[in-house]
């Protein structure tokens, strides 16, 4: 089962495998891309709504990799759907690929090269410069904003 992100519809991705997506992807698409979603749904594409427990698992994983602040609700639910369906996530989004691979979900890139390595981001305080392994809303030391930083 291939779980399709909006980029799959935009780039007219084709597979002979069974496909699935989430309803929120349709909401992101416009014009001919939305029509393509409708046509694929009419041809048998499965529309999957993942369980909230799985969505929470994906959110925790995104926090562990440092991608939590860049994943949309749609992104999170697509990863959850691929996880539940034991499917291949089809996306060009690097943060989605990183979290999916962290959870053991197979990923297929479309128009971009896929990620070459999984990353766990660190967070650096803009005020005091301290670094943290986990994402926090603000620096617990000085209260300044944190920014995501590649640890390598």
Question: pLDDT value at position 2?
Answer: 97
Residue pLDDT, tens place only, 50-98? 999 999 999 999 998 889 888 999 999 999 999 999 999 999 898 999 9
Structure tokens at 98: 């990183």
Question: pLDDT value at position 118?
Answer: 59
Beta-bridge partner residues of 123: 132, 148
Residue 31 has pLDDT above 80, yes or no: yes
CATH number of the domain at 121-152, out of 3.40.50, 3.30.70, 3.20.20, 2.20.28?
Answer: 2.20.28
Residues 126 and 13: their CA atoms lie apart, in Å, by 41
Domain boundaries, the chain: 2-108, 121-152
Residues 21 and 26: their CA atoms lie apart, in Å, by 9
Residue pLDDT, tens place only, 92-118? 898 999 999 999 999 999 876 544 555
Beta-bridge partner residues of 46: 20
Question: pLDDT value at position 36?
Answer: 92
Residues 136 and 68: their CA atoms lie apart, in Å, by 10
Query: What does the pLDDT average to over 27-40?
Result: 92
Q: Whole-model pTM?
A: 0.74
Q: Which CATH superfamily is domain 2-108 in?
A: 5'-nuclease (3.40.50.1010)
């Amino acid at each position: 089962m291939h779980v399709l992100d909006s980029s799959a519809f935009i780039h007219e991705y084709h597979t002979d495998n069974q496909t699935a997506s989430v309803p929120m992807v349709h909401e992101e698409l416009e014009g001919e891309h939305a029509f393509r979603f409708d046509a694929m749904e009419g041809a048998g594409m499965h529309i999957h709504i993942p369980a909230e427990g799985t969505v929470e698992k994906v959110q925790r994983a995104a926090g562990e990799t440092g991608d939590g602040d860049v994943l949309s609700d749609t992104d999170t639910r697509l990863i959850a759907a691929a996880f539940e369906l034991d499917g291949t996530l089809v996306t060009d989004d690097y943060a989605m690929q990183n979290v999916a691979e962290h959870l053991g979900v197979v990923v297929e890139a479309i128009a971009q090269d896929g990620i070459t390595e999984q990353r766990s981001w660190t967070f650096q305080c803009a005020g005091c410069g301290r670094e943290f392994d986990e994402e926090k809303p603000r620096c617990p030391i000085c209260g300044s904003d944190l920014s995501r930083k590649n640890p390598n």
